[in-house]
Amino acid sequence: MSPVEKAKRYPFAEEIRSYLFVDGEDRALDDAGHLDGRIPVIASGSNASPARLKEKYGASADAIPVTRARLNGFARVYSAHFAFYGSIPATLCPLAGFAETVAITWLTEAQAERMHETESIGANYGFYRLTHLQLSPEIGGTVEEAFAYISLPGALHFGDAPTRLEDRSQADMLAHARDLLAPDMAIDAFIAEVIHDERIRQRRKQEIRAYGRPIDIAAGERVL
């Protein structure tokens, strides 16, 4: 698969599900004991994907449990920036009246440090502690406090409200961004520029920020 086609496939998983990531593979997860003593980090985008975890952790023998969960009061929306691999990535955003299916990655301290290294802390994302949650994993009990990477450029608004992953595909979002930022370019050329030209990527990131709105995390705090 070409880098351009990969960019269009974000968030790299057809559905969010529970599994145990170990030795570079996803295996069945049926024991809540795997979660004990770990840090629950909500994945709204590609971190729910075994393929993305393999890119970040390789064939590590140190397992990462991933549980499917239902989260009330938030939505998975697009962030107002471009990732280095050409996609418009996701973020959580408080949104009254919504409930989303998300993944929880249950990390050790060392795994969390590695995840921080891959999330452009301070530029693209802040690491937040979220409290008073209504978060119900399909394995294990209700979670009232967890962590998440929240977009610093804000939630992407191609209209009056944040654009949810459920409502528009990645390919559609990239095409819309092209229409706004470089309407005379072919879509694949537009994506390829973002991937391969750092100067252009940084310019496009600044341009798309004009369509971002700040994300207010009232019940929680930024810790990184």
Domain that holds residue 42: 3-222
> What pLDDT score does 203 carry?
98
Q: What is the mean pLDDT, run by run of 10 residues, along the chain of 224 residues? A: 97 94 94 90 97 94 95 98 98 96 98 97 98 96 96 96 96 98 98 98 98 96 98
Q: What is the dihedral of CA 171, 172, 173, 177, to 10 degrees?
A: 100
Q: What is the pTM of this model?
A: 0.96
> What pLDDT score does 161 carry?
94
> What pLDDT score does 31 carry?
82
Q: Where are the alpha helices (DSSP H) in the chain?
A: 3-8, 50-57, 109-117, 170-181, 187-196, 198-208
Buried b (16+ CB within 10 A) or exposed e, 64-75: bbbbbbebebbb
> What pLDDT score does 34 carry?
85
| CATH, residue 175 | 3.10.490.10
> What pLDDT score does 33 carry?
82
In the chain, the number of structural domains is 1
